[in-house]
Every structure is written in C-alpha cells, then in structure tokens.
Amino acid sequence: MRIRRVGVRPVRWMAGGLVLGLAAACVPQPAVPTLPAGTGIQWVRDVGGTPNENGTYQEAYSHFTLLDGVATGPTPVATPFFPLTSTAGPAYASFGIPVFPDGTTKFPWNGFAGEGITTATTVDAGTTTYDVTGAGGTCRFTNVSGMYASSRTSAAIPSPDGTKLAVFTRFDDVEASAISTYLSIYALGASCTRLANVSYRWSGYAGANTGDTIVSSLTVWSPDSSAILFPLNPASTPTGTRLMRLDVAAGSTPTVVLDSPTSTVLPLGWSPTGRVLIVRTGRSTTTPPTGWTSLETLPIGGGHTKVFDVLTSAVPSARAEFHVGYFVPGTSQVLYSGGTRTATASDGRVVSWPQFRIYDDLTEADAVVPGTDAPLAWHDTPSGPLLNGEFLERFIHS
C-alpha cells in the first residue's frame, strides 16, 4: 500500500483501484432514446365506448399521431377497427383475414414498406380478386369461394424497397385433416415473377400430428429487401416455434434463426444492424395458469437473446395486442407498448397498464414517449373490468 498526496488530502492508492474508480465515475449515461426528427407514429385508442342493445361493450376508437414532438387527435375512426398487429398474425392466418397494402404504410414491422402500394379488391360471383399495384406494375391474386376447398391467399406483405411481395396462402384439406401453407416471394411488377417459394403440410390424421405449418401471415423483411422471416410450427413440438429465414435468391432453402420448442415466437422486426425483434408467448403450469409475453432481440445469425420487457396476465388474455413493438425505421430503437406500470381494478385485480416506450437496442436505454400517455379508463366485461384498448398502428413521416 502507498499513500499519494493530492493537495493536503491523503488518497489511498491500490493497484488499479483509483483508475477504476475514476473510470466508473466518468462513464456517460446512455442518451434518453427519442423518435428521430421527421419520424412519428400513429396509434388507435378506445376513448370510451358504450354498451350496445345486447349489453356488449362497443369501443369508440380514435386516431392519434405524434410527429416532431407534436401530438394530435383524437380523430374518430369512421370504419370498424381491427388492430393490424403482429401478435394478431395467427388469427389472420387461421381465418383468412386479408392483409394487403392500402398505401398507408400499415406494416410497422417493415418500416415504411407499403407506402404508395395499393390494393383494389373486387368480388364477382364468389370470386375475390386482389390487384396489388406498385411503381413497377400490378400483381393479381384470386380466391374462389364455393362448396369445395381451395387455396386462400390472405396476405401480401411489401418489401421495404417496394419491389417485392411476400405472399401467404393456406389450403385446408378437411377430408384429409390436413393444412398446407405456402409463402412465396414475387417481384411486384408487370410480370409478377415468383422469385422464391416454400410450402409446408401439417396433418392430424388418425390422431397423429405430423409435418409443419406457418403460423402467421405477417412476414418480416430484411431492411435491404433480400430476405424474409416467418414463424413455423412443427407438429413434433406443438407448443413451440421455429423462426425461419428465407432469402429471395431462387432455390434458396430456409434456415433456422431461432428454435423455441416450448413457446410461441413471432417476428416483429429486423434492424439495420442485423438484429431481430421478437415477441415470445407462453403460459405457466400453475393453477390457475398465467400467461406471459416477452419482447426480445437477438442476432440474425442466432444466439443469445436480450429480454427488455415482460408482461404477465391471466389466461386467457384479452389484450395480447398491447404487448408489441417495432424497430423505428432505419434505427436500432424499438417502439413498443409495455413497461411496468399497473392499475388496480374495482374487483381488486392488478393489471398491466401499458405505455408507449422506446428501447435502444444498442445502449439498452429505455424511456416513455412523451405526449402518448393514455388516461386511465375502464369498461365492464363478463369477466370483469378491462382497461380500454390502445394499439400502435403505423409509422408516419414528414
């Protein structure tokens, strides 16, 4: 031990001790993450509805926006609102709810993909036709309704550069107790050339489940539009998911990014630094059971995940869409709905009361997005009081 004098005060000097102490004291704190200038968000909030003639609560949804620090709204939603979120993906895939471009960038998991790309829908004698038009031309997809099973195309997800579509199709073979799912990549142009394709068949014949099925039609593109991510459910692990990557190059074979045998995983984004954002869903084995979702990031090549937010709730949960996030376009920041805030219902239950927050995947700093906090508002349901819904919808820009 040595004594070093600085002025008149003795300082104890141990090998490396003073240096480490000074270094720790001088480490700057991560900057508070904020939305970049010129990039904002639009969200939908239930501002307080009323029961209908049957006593069922009917939401009153309105749009809100935040751009360059200025929040606007509410603007009432004129048509029925269905949250277009990645956690709703399995429902869209299972029930064939159409997810097509409408020109407004309602594909937040792919940044500004879809802006300017529109779909014209026509119905003629039971045949539904979707004409998806971009700068290079139009691709046409047709669904035929009738007494016989047929393939149903329910999603066309644009690439960030607007030149490609990831198209999801499902065929339910009731007689064979089988489901076939297809994911194809097309060039969005006059020729509508198919660039890549994968297909999977799941069978539940005679009580024995075999094969695989794509569990969500909401496909995540790489920032450079060269590859896609999609979730696959193997029959061998009915509670699990494999997150798959398919390159656009013809003849490419899907590769596994993440294998999660005991939880459902859905992709939510792909950052410019090569990291993937996912939501993972599972449930406990306790009685009564509880459900949980976690927001995580991991390298696109696979590896350790970083969990930055966890939400637990009763099973079943009526608000899974609350817990969702997307990479802010062109950044490694995640805009998400979550956090640790809670509220106590009139029946004594403590429930999550999410906020809109930003998480920086590089520095791990986290902050509330100013100007977006919803007031505490409840409505009654047969299972008890429930917080009014609020959903991230899309990114906007100036």
| pLDDT per position as a tens digit, 276-326 | 999 998 887 777 777 889 999 999 998 889 999 998 876 555 555 678 999
Q: In terms of C-beta distances under 8 Å and separation of at least 24 residues, what long-range contacts does 275-284 make, across chains too?
A: 275/299, 275/300, 275/332, 275/361, 276/220, 276/229, 276/243, 276/300, 277/325, 277/326, 277/327, 277/334, 277/361, 278/243, 278/305, 279/86, 279/87, 279/323, 279/324, 279/325, 281/87, 281/320, 282/239, 283/315
Lowest mean pLDDT among 172-176, 184-188, 251-255, 256-260: 172-176
Q: Say which DSSP state 110 is in.
A: G
| Residue in the structure block whose two tokens are 């995983």 | 265
Q: Indicate the SS3 state at residue 88.
A: helix
The pLDDT, as a whole number, for residue 256 is 95
**Tens-place pLDDT, residues 323-361:** 899 999 999 999 999 998 888 988 888 888 889 999 999
* Structure-model confidence comparison of residues 62 and 7, the more confident one: 62
Query: Is 211 part of any domain?
Result: yes
- Backbone angle region of 177, left / alpha / beta, with phi > 0 → left and psi within -120 to 50 → alpha: left
The pLDDT, as a whole number, for residue 347 is 85
Over range 16-25, report the average pLDDT.
Answer: 50
269 beta partners: 277
Q: Indicate the SS3 state at residue 378.
A: strand
* Structure-model confidence comparison of residues 16 and 239, the more confident one: 239
- Torsion angles phi and psi, residue 222, rounded to 5: -70, 155
pLDDT band of 239, cuts 50, 70, 90: confident
Q: Say which DSSP state 331 is in.
A: S
In the predicted model, is pLDDT for residue 10 greater than 50?
no
The pLDDT, as a whole number, for residue 198 is 96
165 beta partners: 158, 186
pTM, rounded to two decimals: 0.89
Q: Which residues contact 348 (CB under 8 A, 6 or more apart)?
A: none
| Residue in the structure block whose two tokens are 């695989």 | 212
Which pair of tokens denotes residue 281? 């869903």
Query: Is 135 part of any domain?
Result: yes
Quickly count: other Cβ atoms within 10 Å of residue 261's Cβ: 12
Number of domains in the chain: 1
pLDDT band of 174, cuts 50, 70, 90: confident
**Tens-place pLDDT, residues 105-152:** 999 999 999 999 999 999 998 899 999 999 999 999 999 987 677 789
The pLDDT, as a whole number, for residue 170 is 93
The pLDDT, as a whole number, for residue 319 is 53
In the predicted model, is pLDDT for residue 394 greater than 90?
yes
pLDDT band of 16, cuts 50, 70, 90: very low
The pLDDT, as a whole number, for residue 14 is 42
Over range 208-229, report the average pLDDT.
Answer: 93
Quickly count: other Cβ atoms within 10 Å of residue 238's Cβ: 9
Query: Is 89 part of any domain?
Result: yes
The pLDDT, as a whole number, for residue 11 is 39
Query: Is 241 part of any domain?
Result: no
Gyration radius from the chain CA atoms:
24
Q: Which domain holds residue 218?
A: 84-222
Query: Is 351 part of any domain?
Result: no
Q: Which helix (H) or strand (E) holds 237?
A: none
Lowest mean pLDDT among 36-40, 242-246, 252-256, 309-313: 309-313
166 beta partners: 157, 185
Compute the distance between CA of residue 87 and CA of residue 252 in angstroms, rounded to an integer.
27
